[in-house]
Amino acid sequence: MKKKIAIQGIKGCFHEIATKKYFYKKKYNIIKCKTFNELTYFVSKNTTYLGVIAIENSIAGALIYNYNLIRKKMLKISGEIYLYINHNLMILKKNNIKNIKKIISHPMALLQCKNYLSKYPKIKISEYRDTAEAAFFIFKKKKKNIAAIASKEAAFIYNLKIIDKNIQTVNKNFTRFLILKNNFNYKKNKIFNKVSFFFKLKNNIGEFYKLIKVIFNLNINITNIQTLPRKKKPWEYIFYIDITFNVINNYLLMKKKINKINNFYYILGEYKNSIKI
Ligand SMILES: O=C(O)C(=O)C[C@]1(C(=O)O)C=C[C@@H](O)C=C1
């Protein structure tokens, strides 16, 4: 049976490009979702579904909300992929830049092109559900006064003309996507060197230090930490932590040691560290 993979966005969006790259040569059907909430909902409710979700970008930072969706829906991370993100400004084929009064795109894409957009203070900037849908909207409604920021694939699919390419703030722009599974189709990876987990810390002196000390002493590398407030407990936080290691026994020992620290932790996934390009 073909896999069903939930993504956010339509044909030509970066989620689709990341999925194609990760599941290269595999057979699957893509389930296009309108929001990240819908994506994680589908994965949690359908035992056979997988998901691909953006989690952090090298220019715009983390999509903190998505960490929370993964945690709240009790999903599992089974892999990751880094995708090079190249943004382009596009308009209708016979149109001219002079007619453009508004630029639309996904909020993360707009953030990644902030410097470029600041050159056009008179042009209105509007958020759209995803980059490809912004391109599709211009194509479908024949919008002469709107431009979209999207992939070159989207420009091709929706027959638009690229008038400026490589418009992200720095050329090296990467988004990290996670491969999501649910409790039914998640099988523990036998080989892994990366782990994502979250940790609830009490608001006591040294709680964070205790955790960091255990990790440091076992020669484990922390590649990412995100902090989120606990809504019901003011001034207490949830930490999302990604770690990488070469020696699996060090990780197993780490788990034993942090079990003894009187705080709560939960493993979101144990998977292979993907190579950052
Ligand atoms: O709008 C799209 O094309 C998406 O796939 C979403 C998204 C994101 O969520 O960050 C994916 C990668 C890029 O960072 C820009 C936008």
Instruction: Note the pLDDT tens digit of each residue in 23-52.
Output: 998 999 999 999 999 999 999 999 899 999
Question: Which residue's CA is the nearest one to ligand 1's atom 9?
Answer: 54
**Chain position carrying tokens 């292979």:** 272
Single pTM value for the model? 0.95
* DSSP 8-state symbol, 107: H
**Chain position carrying tokens 């994680």:** 40
What CATH number should be reported for the domain whose range is 3-84+173-181?
Answer: 3.40.190.10
Atom of ligand 1 nearest to the CA of 36: 9
Are the C-beta atoms of residues 107 and 63 closer than 8 Å to each other? no
The full length of the chain comes to 277
Other CB atoms within 10 Å distance of the CB of residue 202: 11
Q: Report the pLDDT averaged over residues 213-232.
A: 93
Q: Is 106 in the pocket of ligand 1 (CB under 6 A)?
A: yes
194-271: CATH class = alpha beta
Domain locations in the chain as residue ranges: 3-84+173-181, 88-165, 194-271
- Fold: same for 3-84+173-181 and 88-165: yes
Atom of ligand 1 nearest to the CA of 14: 5
Instruction: Note the pLDDT tens digit of each residue in 129-170.
Output: 999 999 999 999 999 999 999 999 999 999 999 999 999 999
What are the phi and psi torsion angles at 22 (to 5°)?
-70, -40
Q: Choose between 29 and 234: higher pLDDT.
A: 29
What CATH number should be reported for the domain whose range is 88-165?
Answer: 3.40.190.10
- pLDDT at 76 exceeding the cut of 90: yes
How far apart are alpha carbons 141 and 226 in whole angstroms?
A: 40
How far apart are alpha carbons 211 and 257 in whole angstroms?
A: 9
Q: What percent of the chain has pLDDT over 90?
A: 83
Question: Which residue's CA is the nearest one to ligand 1's atom 4?
Answer: 14
Q: Ligand 1 mean position to 219 CA, how many Å?
A: 34
Amino acid 186: pLDDT: 84
Q: Is the dihedral of CA 192, 250, 63, 100 positive or negative?
A: negative
Secondary element (H or E) of residue 147: strand 146-150
- pLDDT at 203 exceeding the cut of 90: no
Measuring CA to CA, how many Å separate 90 from each of 100, 111, 125, 142? 10, 17, 14, 13
| pLDDT averaged over every residue in the chain | 94
Q: Is 68 in the pocket of ligand 1 (CB under 6 A)?
A: no
Q: Ligand 1 mean position to 231 CA, how many Å?
A: 27
Query: Could you give the ipTM of this predicted complex?
Result: 0.97
Instruction: Note the pLDDT tens digit of each residue in 258-277.
Output: 988 867 889 999 999 997 65
Atom of ligand 1 nearest to the CA of 85: 13
